[in-house]
Structure 1
Amino acid sequence: MGCTFSGLNAFYDAVNSGGDVWINENRFRIVRQLGEGGFAYVFLVKEVLADTSSDAVQSGLRKKFKDSTHLSDDGSYALKKVLIQNNEQLELVKEEIRVSSLFSHPNLLPLLDHAIIATKPTQERSWNHEAYLLFPVHLDGTLLDNAKTMKGKKEFFSTSDVLQIFRQLCAGLKHMHNFDPPYAHNDIKPGNVLITRRKGQPPLAILMDFGSARPARRQISSRSEALQLQEWASEHCSAPFRAPELWDCASHSDVDERTDIWSLGCTLYAIMYGVSPFEYVLGESGGSLQLAIVNVQIKWPAGPTPPYPEALHQFVKWMLQPQAAVRPHIDDIVIHVDKLISKFSN
């Protein structure tokens, strides 16, 4: 792994009480907590440079990166801290770091730096390692955050912004799917899409969280392999955005990157309406999310006035084919979204 961590024996205490932390050679000040989930916490941090004179422009992270595209002008970053309790969790974090380091694309969130340290479990702490992952920070939040805010205000993205946001997700995903071997993200959803609003331009969309990303193509040749895949998917692929073949996997089948295309179709619907096309069943007595997905029971809510063009609804349906073998590939999706952008751009 090559993970190193310097001078950080008191890192845990620093994170929890404020203060400075080090990731390898670089120093950061904890500003505030941005979020948490499971055993992970995300903090807003600010890089502290030893020399703040004009000669120090190439110090700190800037010294490490020739390409400064993802480096912050004001030194602000997001620091993800993961508490690791066993070897299985440790391997998952190492895999996330490895996969995150594979990709380089403006619409995929880059991992800027990382470190893993061993810790001694105590009565208060049951974990034996802590991982620290440093990313660019996007303070406008995720597509999910934006959807909640917009719903409260009864606002919708314009047709043009819907398509531009979606086009950027497609570009990032195409980079993953065209890898050799192709990688599937496996958890495309509004909560994993960062949105940055830009004056006079469509929002910037960046796909994040590669903790579930894996080589996409798998041959399932037995019932036990099919059940293993279903169990893995239930832990790593969010239910409202999970493809039918991951709910009910055939004993002899090929699974490929088009599981992501299903999630992408659900996410396009969510860019328009704020939720997955199948979440409505969760509010119904006796409703089954799995049945709604497997049977592709989509409901179209009342949209903006005027409503979204029917071509967008048809685009969603094209991606939500229950049989993966007839679902389009990402290259087909990109061609089609470009046609829609030229047709519906303001």
Structure 2
Amino acid sequence: MGCSFSGLNALYDTVGGRGGDVWVNDYHFRVLRRLGDAGPAGSSVFLVKEVVAAATASDGTAGSEPGASGIAGKKGIDPSHISADGTYALKKVLVQSDQHLELVQQEIRVSSQFSHPNLLPLLEHAIVAVKDGSQNYEAYLLFPVHLEGTLHDITKTMLEKKEFFPTITVLQIFRQLCSGLKHMHSFDPPYAHNGVKPDNVLITQRKQSHLAILMDFESAGPARKTIRSQAEALQLQEWASEHCSSHYRAPELWECPSHADIDERTDIWSLGCTLYAMMYGKSPFDYELDESSGESLHSVIKNVQIKWPEEAGSTYPDSLRQFITWMLQPHPAVRPHIDDIIIHVDKLVMKYSN
């Protein structure tokens, strides 16, 4: 069925504040408001509320409870991802080329394989041709909504106030990211996220704890790549420059040898940078660039000179800094795997829980 044309109009009207209804396949939503942009130009996210027909009572009259025909009744969805109030996030992507269409289809294929509480699930999707005579498409991707923001949003606000997460909170959030990545790395062959960074971590406060969810699988794909020529190395570097955030990109993706075996440990580098940013509000190489004179980002990352901000110097133990240094090994062959990281972080959680 795809996304109905009246639904397309509803999304456009919402930008002007008029709202409207939209169908994505068999599911009906009311557009509440625009949440913001997402990813490349032409991508926007909307807050929508599901409209579910009332269930029919045994006497044939309409009941007051929602029926099982909505998203909640769809098979294979973890109940924890079903919204209590029927609100979801709907991502609209304007697809203007065959290459972009292939990337969107790849994102859908990859993200549909994952089922884990710390990975943002794709609940429903539709790709439809735009009915304006052009060759363009529009893609609609439905996700659970988390309105409290990303790890980047939270750490930026905290940095402005000169506030920092307690050590145990840092470890608990980080442990959840490790759990989500382990799910991806455990596939055969393994998948790499390729975009681990604070901007792609949703944080929701639940009672006394934080729920961390890794999102955005636009760049995710098979992790292991065999490079056997300069042409293949340059092709990988070009891909990484387009799809991997520079401040969180592993050294082997900046300067790939002509004979190399790339694997999922590119994510471990990004994970180490993300842990640093969780503690100090910036990637380790943002701090180094701030203090260096004219050095390029590539040079700073290649030299792996990590600065530890003095303003939070007494906040975190040396064991946490050593943990980051372990992940930021410039040579991927000696960088730890996700299972090694989880063993170590579990020990740290136990140590600092008391």
TM-score norm. by structure 2 comes to 0.92
CA shift at 1:50, angstroms?
Answer: 2.2
Amino acid across the alignment from 1:73: A
- Give distance in 2, aligned partners of 1:20 and 1:193: 29
Q: Are the counterparts in 2 of residues 273 and 303 from structure 1 also a CA contact under 8 Å? A: no
Distance 2:166 2:310 in 1: 14
Per-residue CA distance 1:118-173 (angstroms, 9 max, x = gap)? 01457xxx770000000000111110111122122221111000000000000000
What is residue 56 of structure 1 aligned with on the other side?
66
Query: Residue in 2 aligned with 1:260?
Result: 267
- Quote the sequence identity (%): 65
Measure, in 1, the Cα distance between the counterparts of 2:207 and 2:246.
34
Question: What code does the residue aligned with 2:7 have?
Answer: F
SS of alignment partner, residue 262 of structure 1 = helix
- Determine if the alignment matches structure 1 residue 5 to structure 2 residue 7: no
Instruction: Structure 1 unaligned segments of length 5 or more: list them.
Output: none
Structure 1 residue aligned with 2:33: 32
What is the 5 A alignment of 1:1-346?
Answer: 4-5=1-2, 8-17=4-13, 18-37=19-38, 38-51=41-54, 53-65=63-75, 67-121=78-132, 128-201=136-209, 203-283=210-290, 285-304=293-312, 306-346=314-354
* Equivalent-residue separation in structure 2 for 1:264 and 1:135 (angstroms): 23
Separation (CA, whole Å) in 1 of partners of 2:107 and 2:175: 25
Contact 2:155–2:281, Cα closer than 8 Å, also in 1: yes
- Cα distance in 2 between the residues matched to 1:10 and 1:310: 58
Contact 2:45 2:91 in 1 (8 A): yes
Contact in 2 for aligned 1:84/1:127 (Cα 8 Å): no
1:184-218 deviation line (CA, Å, top 9, x unaligned): 000100000000012222x1100001110010011
Q: Which amino acid letter does the alignment assign opposite residue 5 of structure 2?
A: N
In structure 1, distance between residues paired with 2:132 and 2:261: 43
More displaced stretch, 237-246 vs 268-277: 268-277
RMSD: 1.6
Task: Please tell me the residue identity of whatever aligns with 1:26.
Answer: Y
Is the CA contact 2:201–2:214 (under 8 Å) kept in the aligned structure 1? yes
Write the letter of the residue equivalent to 1:43.
F
SS in 1 for 2:310: coil
Q: Indicate conservation of the 8 Å contact 2:280/2:312, yes or no.
A: no
Cα contact 2:129–2:135 (8 A) shared by 1: no
Q: Distance in 1 between matches of 2:32 and 2:160?
A: 28
Aligned-partner Cα distance in 2 for 1:79–1:285: 44
CA contact (8 A) 2:192 2:223 kept: yes
Distance 1:22 1:248 in 2: 46
Partners of 2:158 and 2:138 lie apart in 1 by 36
The one-letter amino acid paired with 1:223 is Q
Taking the aligned partners of 2:165 and 2:311, their CA distance within structure 1 comes to 10
Q: Secondary structure at 2:92's aligned position in 1?
A: strand
> Which shifted more, 283-292 or 213-222?
283-292
User: Would the aligned equivalents of 2:288 and 2:306 in 1 still touch at CA under 8 Å?
Assistant: no
The Cα of 1:304 is off from its aligned counterpart by: 3.8
TM-score (ref. length: structure 1):
0.94
SS of corresponding position for 1:69: helix
Deviation at 1:280, TM superposition (A): 2.7
Aligned length: 338
- The question of whether the paired residues in 1 share the 8 Å contact of 2:8 and 2:22 is answered with no
